[in-house]
Amino acid sequence: MSLSILWLMLSCGGSEEPQVARKPVAPKATASITAAAAKGAIAATKALEDGWGAVFWRNATAWKVGGGTTVLSPRSASTVRTSGEPLTCNGVASKGAPPHAGIVLPEGAAMPDMLGAPAIKAHQIERAAWRLDEVLPPRGRFESKVPTTQPSVQRGVEVGSVTKTRRYGAPPVLISTGVRSCAGAVILTDAKAEKTLAYDRLPQTCTPLRVVPAQDYDGDGNREFGVFSEDRVAIYRMDEKPGRTSIIKIGEWHCEID
């Protein structure tokens, strides 16, 4: 009897087959914000409006989703011509879009003058990366924690854009974007990127985000700006009040990368 029990125990022992590597677990997008520099930040509200649109690039073709005929990149604007039925990203093929175009203005909006944005210094970019780190979901357990000397890459955050926006009767603000572990974020900070004023998280965003600078594009008296990547586009309106600046998401589109 004892020999039989011993044989069963040995036969049920551990296998010598190699273990399968564990896949990283995506961080929770709803993680709370506890950092002191971001504690008072105002989360974006959502009030989507008709008329705006997005541009997704696939194989050097600009696919326009909604909006009018004026498309914007961070540095230029142009009128596009479209043809055919919606195919890719639910958009129609467009010609005449400037390189890196990301958002589309409503029909009838005036052609904007895309002024060059003020230069951003390396230490501002590095601080923006830290502010983004405080807003994005935490790093996954298996991500590298090796520090880097690149200002635009801190704690696994890849900064896409940092753009200075001047204000009337108030100090300028920075609009910054970043991505980590396929989660993106856009933040408004003070000019030194020491305090976050407003933010929005953009899930399922795996490619770098860029910013179309803030202007009053639709003539309503408020300024709008856009953020875009290969797989996501969002448009925001700035709500600027004395001592309080927040953002309202007025457009959002997503397209998976093949």
The per-residue pLDDT for range 27-66, each reduced to its tens digit, is 455 556 768 888 889 999 999 999 999 999 999 999 999 9
Domain extent, residue 207, equals 36-49+115-254
Q: What is the pLDDT of residues 213-226, one digit of tens each?
A: 999 999 999 999 99
Residue 21: inside a domain: no
Which DSSP state fits 144? -
pLDDT for the residue numbered 103: 98
Q: Could you give the CA distance from residue 45 to residue 192 in angstroms, rounded to a whole number?
A: 25
Residue 119: inside a domain: yes
pLDDT at 206 over 70: yes
Residue 151: inside a domain: yes
pLDDT for the residue numbered 223: 96
> Do 169 and 204 fall into the same domain?
yes
Q: Could you give the CA distance from residue 32 to residue 39 in angstroms, rounded to a whole number?
A: 10
Looking at the structure of the chain, the number of domains it has is 2
What is 168-216 written as a DSSP string?
A: TTEEEEEEEEEEETTEEEEEEEETTS-SEEEEEEEES--S--EEEEEE-
- Three-class SS of residue 129? helix
Q: How much of the chain exceeds pLDDT 70, in percent? A: 82
> Do 172 and 94 fall into the same domain?
no
- CB count within 10 Å of CB 241 equals 8
Contact by Cβ (8 Å): 105, 70: yes
Q: What is the pLDDT of residues 186-195, one digit of tens each?
A: 999 999 999 9
Tokens of 166: 């001047």
> Do 82 and 129 fall into the same domain?
no
> Do 150 and 208 fall into the same domain?
yes
pLDDT for the residue numbered 145: 59
